Amino acid sequence: MFKKMVFSALSVAVFSAVLTSPIQATSVGGQKEHSLVSARWSSDEEWIRKSAAVPPGWVVIREDLGSKLIKNTAGAPYGTELRVSKYSPVPAGWVVLRDEVAGRVIKYVIGATYRTEFNVTKFSPIPTGWVMSRENYDSKTIMNVVGAPYGTVLLVSKYSPVPPGWVYEGQTAAGMYIKNLNRY
């Protein structure tokens, strides 16, 4: 009887020491958090609670009753397209190509050459270094201006952002003129 009590007490002590070890707790919790932040482009997907915030750089692929499947977009190659949930965040450098009934299709545009254009949805974000060249009632055409020669003047939509290193030159009924002052 004494052996059983000592063995039980010893088991409980060892088991509780393992559960309360600060090294064990931080490495397990830190590893999970670290994998969400630093994962590289591949098939990195994680199921999280539906109420949990989506980390920056991740998109919602699918939603179920109490959870959502998220995918990492860090390190995606230029031109990658993903079908995401209707209310998924759109990471920096990605645009919304089209809205569909069950979701939307987004595309990674960083790495495009100068003057590359894409037709995107009306509410798609415009990445840094891109301008809105034309717009319709339900879409807009964006163009990459990174790499434009010094002094280039472009006519863009009057609601277009002016990229870093470009200046406003004037306005017409058709849009506004911007000039590149970047020396690449």
Q: Tell whether the torsion through CA atoms of 81, 85, 86 and 87 is positive or negative.
A: negative
CA distance 87 to 106: 12
CA distance 90 to 83: 11
Amino acid letter, residue 178: I
Mean of the per-residue pLDDT values of the chain: 82
Tell me the pLDDT tens digit for each residue of 47-67.
Answer: 999 999 999 999 999 998 899
Indicate the pTM of the whole model.
0.73
Q: Which of 163, 158, 159 is nearest to 175 (CA)?
A: 158
- Residue segments in the chain with a per-residue pLDDT below the cut of 50: 2-39
